[in-house]
Amino acid sequence: MRSQPAQTPNTGRGKIVIYCGIDWAEKTHDVALVDDSGQLLAKRHITDDAAGYKILLDLLAEYGDTEEDPIPVAIETSRGLLVAVLGASKRQVFAINPMAAARYRDRHSVSRKKSDPGDALVLANILRTDMHAHRPLPQDSDLARAVAVLARAQQDATWNRQQISNQLRSLLREYYPAALAAVEPWKNGLCRPEAREFLKVAPTPTRAARLTVTQLQAVLKRAGRQRGIAAEAGRLREVFRTDWAHQPPLVEDALGKQMLALLVQLEAACAAADNLAEAVVEVFPQHPDAEIILSFPGLGTQLGARVLAEIGDDRQRFADARGLKAYAGASPITWASGKKSSITRRWVKNDRLNHAGYLWAFSAITASPGAQRNLFNRMIGQLYQGLQQGQYYDEAVAFPAATEASLQAA
């Protein structure tokens, strides 16, 4: 349930309802306050620093903002220090999509003119006229927000690592196919420490062909391998000394230098992903919802942290399980017009949560894409109920066994 907008006294006018709109920018922000009739009460231009935040809070307090009855605020971002300052109390902060704000702007001007003070006024009027149609930012705990920061950063680092690995693979195909053949049996391929280590020692196929078994064993040991070193070194030596096509020597050396530069980026990405994964392992289990989330099959620490990061721990965020399913993109959407109707996937969704759901379902079943979608839809509904009621996953409740009567009817 949303609280009512602030009712505040104003000299000569009695009690009025106040709404605040903030046009966010990198260094400065424009603020506008309007009443329930749409009249502009105040406007300010503030800086993005502690002094500017104090001016904003003093302005809100001047118009009746209190901790018990705060003035709701509309802004075009959901992150940053300004949002953190505004959300420190029970205040409702509405993150308005810039595209939606642009549509509202057309209601007030046909010339399509744009100004920062005007946009702040538009945002305030969005709350005045359609506050019920917009969702305030969730009131997640600090621990949940910390998990979200680390889980999203780890996910971004993983994606970045894969992107750089793909670039490296594409480059190696141009001049160094032996390296790709060498890492083919290894899980994670070029991201493995052994692969990065031998590429540093032998950035070109010519230099790789000169490596001895002893040198290759030393490379594997430096990379941390402890078993099967002799056999693996023999395999690598055979791969590198096989006949491969070569670029001209000068071109090959140049490509080797380019590869080394890309390898530095890959090593940094691998280290970032590993360090953030360790941070997630340290923080996520501290959250009270961690045990419930981890009780679901297919959810480990990293994937469970990503799920918590996107759904948060504000129990009032979703009215029911259907809302969470739609937010995650797990449930389909029906289009109907006249006699025609179709059921399609949701394009507007939380992409991070949807990606986590794909991995979640894929870890449990790989036979059918349709089964993956339906399983995620069922599982996230069960997760909603489990978090609401504080219950662990129960296989008998999630997937009750068919009774004899139902089997006969089928």
What tens digit of pLDDT does each residue of 330-351 get?
888 888 888 888 878 788 888 9
pLDDT of residue 347: 83
pLDDT of residue 406: 47
Confidence of residue 11 (pLDDT cuts 50, 70, 90): very low
Decide if pLDDT at 232 tops 80.
yes
Are both 213 and 337 inside the same structural domain?
no
Q: What is the mean pLDDT of the chain?
A: 87
Are both 294 and 277 inside the same structural domain?
no
Q: Please report, rounded to a whole number, the percentage of residues in the chain having pLDDT higher than 90.
A: 57
The tokens describing 165, both together, are: 């690995």
The tokens describing 330, both together, are: 């797990």
Which structural domain, as residue segments, surrounds residue 155?
146-282
Q: Which residue has the higher pLDDT, 394 or 148?
A: 148
Q: Please report, rounded to a whole number, the percentage of residues in the chain having pLDDT higher than 70.
A: 90
Task: Mark which of 113, 137, 161 sits at the end of a domain.
Answer: 137
Are both 16 and 112 inside the same structural domain?
yes
Task: Mark which of 252, 282, 312 sits at the end of a domain.
Answer: 282
Are both 180 and 227 inside the same structural domain?
yes
Are both 383 and 333 inside the same structural domain?
yes
Decide if pLDDT at 69 tops 90.
no
Model pLDDT for residues 262-279, shown as the tens digit of each residue: 999 999 999 999 999 999
Q: Is residue 405 part of a domain?
A: no
Task: Mark which of 120, 137, 154 sits at the end of a domain.
Answer: 137
Confidence of residue 104 (pLDDT cuts 50, 70, 90): confident
Mean pLDDT for the stretch of residues 289-294: 94
Full 3-state SS string of the chain: CCCCCCEEEECCCEEEECEEEEECCCCEEEEEEECCCCCEEEEEEEECCHHHHHHHHHHHHHCCCCCCCCCCEEECCCCCHHHHHHCCCCCCEEECCHHHHHHHHHHHCCCCCCCHHHHHHHHHHHHHHHHHHCCECCCCCHHHHHHHHHHHHHHHHHHHHHHHHHHHHHHHHHHCHHHHHHHCCCCCHHHCHHHHHHHHHCCCHHHHHCCCHHHHHHHHHHCCCCCCHHHHHHHHHHHHCCCCCCCCHHHHHHHHHHHHHHHHHHHHHHHHHHHHHHHHHHHHHHCCCHHHHHCCCCCCHHHHHHHHHHHCCCCCCCCCHHHHHHHHCCCCEEEEECCEEEEECCCCCCHHHHHHHHHHHHHHCCCCHHHHHHHHHHHHHHHHHHHHHCCCCCHHHHCCCCCHHHHHHC
Decide if pLDDT at 8 tops 60.
no
